[in-house]
Structure 1
């Protein structure tokens, strides 16, 4: 085995180790969340009138697994971010890995901020709009459909809100720079607009209320990339 093949094998083994640690953290947090899943369920349905419907005996397990899984992802985010940083750390210069360490807690915080934005702002807005449309119908929600809808309206924002930190990290290690981000602005705006239209009801106000924060996130990402890039040039 030559040196290049040995290096590739070493990287794959290191990646496997980081994935195992991240997966183990997810499983631990999943088990803890599942212990308290009834409390999570009761808090999430506190504003629902009546009880949600189950169509099969196994549906309750699916709902509880879904809720525990989302909670486990949220709590596992710092561990996953830390393992990802440890994986790329050998390729970083000393000044780079010191600077990027602060990105790890920021990833966890922004994920929670994004989920909170989706749950407290986007989800009530979309839910109220759809309730208005269904005013002439007899409505009966199943637990599975209700929570699938809620998760689709909240969890994606957790990942979208991590965009500024990810851009800062990629700028710090030289993968991105402000010029590339500026050049890709039109394509990025198009992708974010499509994302906003996909996850919101078909009315212009809902689309605008989601598109504006996403565009602001991109511009914040570009500004932070400029800051990191200039600082990096001064250090060099």
Structure 2
């Protein structure tokens, strides 16, 4: 690493950060433009598959149609921007990492994007459908006529999809923080009971108010946490071995 990198001033760091943020914003804008283009065919497709297949959608405001385009533009933009944002974060932190840490942490970027997509699929095909069927069942029991506004329907969907997709990033975040020596498996073991409690609360907040739904969502979340602990342990053990090798080579001198 060059001396100029090691001696970067606060102004230079802020300039570097500004450059990274600008790149992310540019990609986000491009992604939103793509989202506006693909919004109509995506909405048309979603209208033909369960649970929306037999629903007659309505608009309750002149802005609802535009709001749908902007909602899909934002979500599409966020999905496209995610790997770029992760890479920019890695690039910003890169000067403070060792060479082996740089290579190891860069591998997290594609896996983080893959986990986000898996979380998105789980949220839509499992949690959202389960939540929608639950609320529809309540309306049916009360003999209520279901009239759905398109804006309310997709707001309900996105409020479930986005948080769960982000929660699926937990293993990557913990591995990355372990790589930076901020976290380690010992700390994760100590906070396990609090982590479980938080995950159960989050699962209860984004699912219908019944025990079965909360369990269906909280179990994968807890499994993700335990996988995170295992992955953190793998990273941590490699760090200990490297530290021990360094001590044996240079410590005795």
TM range (shorter): over 0.9
For residues 183 and 14 of structure 1, what CA distance do their matches in structure 2 show? 36
Of residues 21, 24, 35, the one that matches 1:22 is: 24
Could you list the per-position Cα deviations for residues 67-95 of structure 1 after superposition, in whole angstroms to 9, with x for gaps in the alignment? 12111111111101100100100110101
Q: Using the alignment, how far apart are the partners of 1:116 and 1:187 within structure 2?
A: 27
Structure 1 alignment gaps of length 5 or more: none
Indicate which of 112, 117, 126 corresponds to 1:121: 126
Q: Can you give the 5+ residue segments of structure 2 that lack an aligned partner in the other structure? A: 1-6, 244-253
User: CA offsets per residue over residues 79-112 of structure 1, 9 Å max, x none?
Assistant: 0110010010011010100111110001111111
How far 1:190 moved relative to its partner? 1.1
Aligned twin of 1:58: 63
Q: Distance in 1 between matches of 2:112 and 2:132?
A: 28
SS class of match (2:58): coil
Alpha-carbon deviation of 1:162?
0.6
Q: Which moved more, 1:202-211 or 1:38-47?
A: 38-47
Out of 43, 46, 69, the residue aligned to residue 44 of structure 1 is: 46
Say which of 144, 147, 154 aligns to 2:154: 147
| 1:30-85 C-alpha deviation (Å, 9 max, x unpaired) | 10121121011112222322431111211110111101211111111110110010
Count of aligned pairs: 233
Aligned to 2:212: 205
The yes-or-no answer on 1:109 pairing with 2:111 is no
TM-score by length of 1: 0.95
What is the TM-score normalised by the length of structure 2? 0.89
CA distance in 1, matches of 2:56, 2:80: 28
Contact 1:115/1:156 (CA < 8 Å) preserved in 2? no
**CA distance in structure 2 between the aligned counterparts of 1:116 and 1:199, rounded to whole angstroms:** 15
Which entry has the higher C-alpha Rg, 1 or 2?
2
**Contact 1:164-1:218 at 8 Å conserved across structures:** yes
Structure 2 Cα separation of the partners of residues 111 and 57 of structure 1: 33
Secondary structure in structure 2 of the residue aligned to 1:36: helix
Partners of 2:165 and 2:45 in 1: how far apart? 20
Is residue 83 of structure 1 aligned with residue 88 of structure 2? yes
Report the CA distance between 1:224 and its aligned residue.
0.4
Looking at structure 1, the residues matched to 76 and 46 of structure 2 have their Cα atoms a distance apart, in angstroms, of 12
Distance 1:130 1:60 in 2: 24
- The secondary structure found in structure 1 opposite 2:177 is helix
